[in-house]
Amino acid sequence: MDRHVAEEADDGYVILWDGWLSLFDLGIRKHALGYAPALVDRIKRYKPECEQDVADLLRHGGVDPGQVDTIIYSHIHFDHIGDPERIPTARIVLGAEGKVLLQDAYPVNPESRYLAFRAGREVVYIDFDAQSDALNKFFGPFDRVFDYHGDGSLYLIDGPGHLQGHMLVAARVAPNVFVLLSGDACHSRECYASGRAVSKEFEAHWSLAQETARRLYQVHKALDNVVIILAHERERETEMPLFPSELNVWAVEEVEKRKQRKTQ
Ligand SMILES: [Zn+2]
């Protein structure tokens, strides 16, 4: 199967390879430089370090960033959006509700926290209300799900609440095994593993974010064939192989281990 999934550390950008190359989030911009001026002081408080961004890591792994076909964004917070101009030829895919954040992005609005995409950049907005019934699927408790390739290999999942347009991605890594890349639907493993609600301070829409986290918890409880990976889940950096190693075999083993624990 020509399908590989890999994750690199540093706030969760994940690489999906399915005949063509897609990225899910780009992490932080290199040296955390080049953000909209209205964000600069806020970012300094976090003291992010990013010596190598995703384009550097691709090159070190033997992949030319020019080969990337698609950047799928979970959402456009600074630690996920990275610098799309480092992957200049890729199509951008974003949840349609995120469009409003970009309508007056910097420099049109000097106060905006968001940078406008380069003029002429191809951006595809995923409108879950407008998808045909044939491509609108369920993924466990999530009922607004777009079958991106139309072959069940990659699902884009509406996961509202954290920020407008927030999406999760489920990638099939074996005939009946998925990794669910959850963006910021939850910020830590405890959030979904315990069913505890997400933290109010991080969410644009509190009740929607709670509902998305609740559904993630249901996936965790009910779907044995799904490995959940949160963008900020620090445990995963040491638990799982990082790019250029693949996740596929590891994910299948995780599923097997869980099934064994249940039968013991
Ligand atoms: Zn976020």
* 197 CA distance to ligand 1 middle (Å): 16
* 162 CA distance to ligand 1 middle (Å): 6
pLDDT at 3: 45
* 153 CA distance to ligand 1 middle (Å): 25
Give per-residue pLDDT as tens, 227-238.
999 888 878 878
* 51 CA distance to ligand 1 middle (Å): 21
Task: Point out the residues of the chain with pLDDT beneath 50.
Answer: 1-3, 9
CATH code for the part of the protein at 3-263: 3.60.15.10
User: Pseudo-torsion of CA 130, 98, 57, 149, nearest 10°?
Assistant: 0
Enumerate the domain spans of the chain.
3-263
* 262 CA distance to ligand 1 middle (Å): 33
* 261 CA distance to ligand 1 middle (Å): 33
Residue 99 burial (10 A CB sphere; 0-12, 13-18, 19+): middle
Give per-residue pLDDT as tens, 57-76.
899 888 899 999 999 999 99
* 199 CA distance to ligand 1 middle (Å): 12
pLDDT at 231: 84
* 134 CA distance to ligand 1 middle (Å): 31
* 94 CA distance to ligand 1 middle (Å): 14
Does this model's pTM top 0.85? My answer is yes
